[in-house]
A and B are shown apart, each in its own frame.
Chain A
């Protein structure tokens, strides 16, 4: 430490004054680095100016508070900043693309979006649905179990933070290949298998213990995830809208409830806003928090009781930045100031410096604003649930944040300054990568190819993982992630959240990282299409979207350029499908010694099923029924699993044709509502062949299809028709007696009868010249599909 820069204050507890006013530019950077502030020179100079104006030096508490509040993780500097791209200036990616789509669509059913910890949409006249998806990549790379578990814990608190009762969780994970050679691993990077086992166990641990079903998810394997594991944790809650309280005012008491505060999770947000290096383990291990789901379960009970009795005026969770961001953000939102007495914060062990108390990210804590007359009742509710709750401060008239520790004022910052960091200006550039479109002869044995494809990492059954998650606690999971006797992969989960209503929620997701390597624009478009079509396949409509970006360092122009491309697609396709974004989160700086992460956009879709009794599962039901394909198949194999199997990437990434796609979705929903659909499955990784195989073996019957009947565009090879991953396509099983009605409803969309369900338990595909090109027992296909991860975790 630099002597002279830090002045030990004469207090009975550790407190430093930082000699900022006289610091040189060089010293400013030293201070930022030594205190782990994560602030750049421009930001440090802004802070310096501020304190020069105040004619005093800041304390460590003040600097840490600013560092947390201005971090990428808390403030989303890149998404809110100015980006110079192709000669123009983009004034905030967030406003220009994401929020703009929502504003322009402006649906009446959006209740509160982009305002709180979670987006809230209307479910029915009285109830709302709150949804949030978080990223927890960095902590999971260091400590997979704790990182993933606290990811789940954190997103559940986001839901509690809008007064909603969490009813389901989702998880979407990305790992390096499980067979990655150990000797190729650089120092500090953990083996994908170790990370995989830890993450899966961590997610199960939290959700299962809290009694919240994990109902939907996905797992992707990609080389680039070896150094940058991807962990998305989502949570869905319901709340009676009239109990949604958000009106704290000066004089309200700040109550901290839940777990005790300690040193776990110090500097979590600054850690999450930097690249991973070989030193991350050593330096940042304390940034990963410790999970205690039972504490959060009790906290949840108390919060729901307080909500129902309307005892508090506002609530927020403690996540990234700990108290510093929870107190600051609520004060800002309600145009108040705040006073906090840090010595009142219950600690797990003594000895924490005031700044540590204020920024610790210890888990299972929530912050409530309570009118003084209700304080006794609120504390009583917590006591009944065996949850510790303490009044630690109050909101004030002035717009100043004041922190005290043992009667000593340790911080005083204007709220307005705290929330006006200098805007980041970043340069972006984009040059499309050209991968060659491969040229290889059609394989002779497509049956064998199909079997290998079903057993390939990105297609194979996730049963061994899903079974370790409780997916039906609460008894509301109407359409489960594993369907029926053979564990069929339903496209979306359907939940029935209210006792006395048949109305349901459909939860689905879409993610296509391998397209992202070719073109992030079409990757984003495909992810949106996939999330929507998965939702439509079970009967979901009135769909809302959530965006979650996992990208490399935004300080590198080409990474930022690809982010801009993806955002452009988000705007265009959300608008075209009239599916607003209601919440989202970005995780940038996903870079490791092995390089950057493949740009990965997760789209989560939340739809409404007006009556869960119409929900459609993906398994074939009755021999003799016809199989239709809906949507046109193009020569779009770039980034497909089929190309990957053959060692190629290719360039012909699947496009989205929104006009056609919208007609298809609309017609299909109508057919489902009319009861004309026995089974429906979306076409994604593995294409037509993968989908028909899954439908057949999940239903326990065979299928016969004829490729000559598939509506194609310039496709002359059996393998391309079978494995193309063109978007907006479905396979639909229709009973014979409904065929005419079905065809009538589907007029206007591309749709063709291509085969039927058979009693013989074999999958038989006739090729473009009429020969049999695939012929296999469904039991064999099922065995291939279940082979990969069957050893369990």
Chain B
């Protein structure tokens, strides 16, 4: 598939607010990226016209009840069938921040044995509590299955900003070990919080900014085609978005977030 033929759909609903910069990132790579209100998608039923789907960051429906849960249930009720075929056909879905919360609440992640009717994990309120906006280091853990990070060598440390108050990744206490093992077995673990040298945070704040279990930043489904993460790659796309670009002699010429978008686009170019 030619790059300029790739069509990415960025979904939004009341409260979504990171759609524009996500669109900018895709457009900068030369693919078509459209921001669509879900009302529009429900009306047109055209989800399968797109090659990839993005749930961007924001506060969908005000994040009342639990972050992402209302949008997750809403979209399953209205577009459940289409979404499931989208995943089954191996078309990629990316969830950033609120989007990650939506994918977990909808049972699309971790989805050890396929999409589940109830969530198997949670993005709980941060510990220490409260909204936190800061740049963090994340270490790539995936061995190559995740199509959103296949270009990134395993063990490489990237830098991106987080901005959320509900990002503490948790498994049910009694299944914690078992689920973690499965993440490793299936190569579903994608990023963990670390310091800039790649030493894991081991839960210490602010290296791990939200108290996530096992320093988990983001995971993918067993097929590697659905991926969610708390940090914002779209805000770490250009070099001038980095928090210390004025010390530029030490800086790379683009932000690390670009690697995620590039991985996806190049995957689509090859695969389809």
Do A and B associate with each other? yes
Q: Which residue of B lies closest to A613 (CB)?
A: B240
Q: Is A294 an interface residue (CB 8 A)?
A: yes
Q: Are B246 and A472 in contact (CB under 8 A)?
A: no
A468 vs B246: C-alpha distance when bound (angstroms): 24
Q: Is A267 an interface residue (CB 8 A)?
A: no
Q: Are A499 and B132 in contact (CB under 8 A)?
A: no
Q: Is B243 an interface residue (CB 8 A)?
A: yes
B246 / chain A contacts, CB cutoff of 8 Å? 479, 483, 615-617, 619, 621, 679
Q: Is B140 an interface residue (CB 8 A)?
A: no
Q: Which residue of B lies closest to A485 (CB)?
A: B244
Report the interface size for chain B: residues with CB under 8 A from the other chain.
37
Q: Are A470 and B163 in contact (CB under 8 A)?
A: yes
A204 vs B131: C-alpha distance when bound (angstroms): 8
Q: Is B241 an interface residue (CB 8 A)?
A: yes
- Secondary structure dominating the interface of B: mixed
From B17, B20, B39, give the contact of A210 (CB < 8 A): B17
Q: Is A471 an interface residue (CB 8 A)?
A: yes
Q: Is B262 an interface residue (CB 8 A)?
A: no
Q: Min CB distance, B194 to chain A, in Å?
A: 15
| Complex interface bits, A351-387 against B, C-beta within 8 A gives 1, otherwise 0 | 0000000000000000000000000000000001110
A483 vs B244: C-alpha distance when bound (angstroms): 6
Q: Are B14 and A384 in contact (CB under 8 A)?
A: no
Q: Are B39 and A467 in contact (CB under 8 A)?
A: no
Q: Which residue of A lies closest to B134 (CB)?
A: A467
Q: Is A211 an interface residue (CB 8 A)?
A: yes
Q: Are B235 and A211 in contact (CB under 8 A)?
A: no
Q: Is B141 an interface residue (CB 8 A)?
A: no
B37 / chain A contacts, CB cutoff of 8 Å? 384-385
A297 / chain B contacts, CB cutoff of 8 Å? 14-15, 17
Q: Min CB distance, A487 to chain B, in Å?
A: 9
Q: Are A472 and B235 in contact (CB under 8 A)?
A: yes
Q: Which residue of B lies closest to A616 (CB)?
A: B246
| Complex interface bits, B129-141 against A, C-beta within 8 A gives 1, otherwise 0 | 0111110000000
Interface residues of A in 606-654 (CB under 8 A from B): 612-613, 615-617, 619, 621
Q: Are B235 and A209 in contact (CB under 8 A)?
A: no
Q: Are A384 and B235 in contact (CB under 8 A)?
A: no
Q: Are A468 and B132 in contact (CB under 8 A)?
A: yes
Q: Are A385 and B17 in contact (CB under 8 A)?
A: no
| Complex interface bits, A567-584 against B, C-beta within 8 A gives 1, otherwise 0 | 000000000000000000
Q: Are B133 and A499 in contact (CB under 8 A)?
A: no
A515 / chain B contacts, CB cutoff of 8 Å? none
A470-B131, A621-B247 known; A209+B20 contact, CB < 8 A: no
Interface residues of B in 7-65 (CB under 8 A from A): 14-18, 20-21, 24, 37, 39-40, 57-59, 61-63
Q: Is A406 an interface residue (CB 8 A)?
A: no
Q: Is A350 an interface residue (CB 8 A)?
A: no
A616 vs B245: C-alpha distance when bound (angstroms): 10
Report the interface size for chain A: residues with CB under 8 A from the other chain.
46
Q: Are A211 and B244 in contact (CB under 8 A)?
A: no
From A209, A295, A499, A792, give the contact of B128 (CB < 8 A): A792
A385 vs B36: C-alpha distance when bound (angstroms): 11
From A472, A476, A479, A484, give the contact of B133 (CB < 8 A): A472
Q: Min CB distance, B100 to chain A, in Å?
A: 16
Q: Is B237 an interface residue (CB 8 A)?
A: yes
Q: Is B234 an interface residue (CB 8 A)?
A: yes
Q: Is B161 an interface residue (CB 8 A)?
A: yes
Q: Are B17 and A473 in contact (CB under 8 A)?
A: yes
Q: Which residue of B lies closest to A617 (CB)?
A: B246
From A467, A471, A499, give the contact of B24 (CB < 8 A): A499
A59 vs B40: C-alpha distance when bound (angstroms): 47
B237 / chain A contacts, CB cutoff of 8 Å? 475
A475-B234, A612-B240, A616-B246 known; A209+B14 contact, CB < 8 A: no
Q: Is A689 an interface residue (CB 8 A)?
A: no
A471 / chain B contacts, CB cutoff of 8 Å? 133
B131 / chain A contacts, CB cutoff of 8 Å? 204, 208, 467-470
Q: Min CB distance, A620 to chain B, in Å?
A: 10
Q: Are A294 and B235 in contact (CB under 8 A)?
A: no
Q: Are A478 and B240 in contact (CB under 8 A)?
A: yes
A482 vs B131: C-alpha distance when bound (angstroms): 16
Q: Are A294 and B14 in contact (CB under 8 A)?
A: yes
A793 / chain B contacts, CB cutoff of 8 Å? 130
Q: Are A468 and B133 in contact (CB under 8 A)?
A: yes
A793 vs B130: C-alpha distance when bound (angstroms): 8
A204 vs B163: C-alpha distance when bound (angstroms): 11
A499 / chain B contacts, CB cutoff of 8 Å? 24
A297 vs B14: C-alpha distance when bound (angstroms): 7
Q: Is A122 an interface residue (CB 8 A)?
A: no
A475 vs B236: C-alpha distance when bound (angstroms): 8
Interface residues of A in 475-529 (CB under 8 A from B): 475-480, 482-485, 496, 499
Q: Is A474 an interface residue (CB 8 A)?
A: yes
Q: Which residue of B lies closest to A299 (CB)?
A: B14
Q: Are B17 and A496 in contact (CB under 8 A)?
A: no
A484 / chain B contacts, CB cutoff of 8 Å? 243-244, 247
| Pairs across A and B, CB under 8 Å, 17 listed | A208-B131, A292-B62, A293-B62, A294-B62, A385-B14, A386-B14, A468-B131, A473-B235, A475-B238, A475-B241, A476-B21, A484-B243, A484-B244, A485-B244, A615-B246, A616-B246, A792-B130
| B-to-A contact residues, CB < 8 Å | 14-18, 20-21, 24, 37, 39-40, 57-59, 61-63, 128, 130-134, 161, 163, 232, 234-235, 237-238, 240-241, 243-247
What 9 pairs across the A-B complex have the smallest Cβ distances? A211-B17, A484-B244, A475-B21, A617-B246, A294-B62, A470-B163, A298-B14, A294-B15, A475-B235
